[in-house]
Amino acid sequence: MKFASHFLTTMMLFMATSASASSLWSPGAGSLFADIKARQAGDIVTILIVESSSSSQKAKTSFTKSLKHGNDAGIGLILKNLPELGISSKQSGSSDGSTTRTASFLAKMTAVVVKVLPNGNLVIEGSRTVETNSEKQDIKLTGTIRPQDIAPDNTVLSTYLADAEIKCTGKGPIGDRQREGIISKLIKFLF
């Protein structure tokens, strides 16, 4: 019994001395107090694409033009046989035109930081392809963001992108139906 008690005491001392404390934080993990945001090449950031545009143009033109011209009867030997001549014309017209265009684009996608500029700004690129019922939609995005524009949840609004280029293209049976046909193009060209 004494031996078992001594053995247990020795084992507990051995385990206590051989156990080492380890931290949950590792030096490469960054600060414990900072948000997890994109900072360097290879990091991922979520872009909230919220784009809308609206343009309107109106034009109105009106004009009036009058012309009156008159000649007296001819003078001299040759011109005296010409009768009195008078010309008068009046033109007027007006035109109205207006165009309105509105577009909006909402999406959420991730992009990769491809370069950190000397001033700390981040150059990003991203692409996303979604295919549903044989309809394929491709979204491509490039731009530059400031680190201070990245929200604590690692998202950035697309309105904060500098040199932003956002392209959305689609292919499929529905998209094909939306394209103008050859005959329509030909008629539009001729008339």
Residue 141 CA to residue 164 CA, distance in Å, equals 7
pTM for the full predicted model = 0.54
Residue 148 CA to residue 18 CA, distance in Å, equals 46
Is the pLDDT higher at 135 or at 127?
A: 127
> CB under 8 Å to 152, separation ≥6 — which residues?
35, 37
Residue 161: Cβ-neighbour burial (10 angstroms; 0-12, 13-18, 19+):
buried
Q: What is the pLDDT of residues 90-102, one digit of tens each?
A: 777 787 888 888 8
pLDDT, residue 121, reads 94
Q: What is the mean pLDDT of residues 49-62?
A: 83
Name the least confident of 62-71, 72-81, 154-163.
72-81
Q: What is the 3-state secondary structure (H, E, C) of the chain?
A: CHHHHHHHHHHHHHHHHHCCCCCCCCHHHCCCCCCCCCCCCCCEEEEEEEEEEEEEEEEEEEEEEEEEEEECCCCHHHHCCCCCEEEEEEEEEEEEEEEEEEEEEEEEEEEEEEEECCCCCEEEEEEEEEEECCEEEEEEEEEEECHHHCCCCCEEEHHHCEEEEEEEEEECHHHHHHCCCHHHHHHHHHC
Inform me whether the pLDDT recorded for 179 exceeds 80.
no
Candidates 66, 175, 42; CA nearest to 114 is 42
pLDDT, residue 119, reads 94
Is the pLDDT higher at 187 or at 95?
A: 95
Name the least confident of 48-52, 152-156, 161-165, 169-173.
169-173
Inform me whether the pLDDT recorded for 67 exceeds 80.
no
pLDDT, residue 91, reads 79
Residue 20 CA to residue 55 CA, distance in Å, equals 68
Place of tokens 């530059």: 144
Domain ranges in the chain are 44-190
Inform me whether the pLDDT recorded for 54 exceeds 70.
yes
Residue 114 CA to residue 146 CA, distance in Å, equals 14
Residue 39 CA to residue 121 CA, distance in Å, equals 9
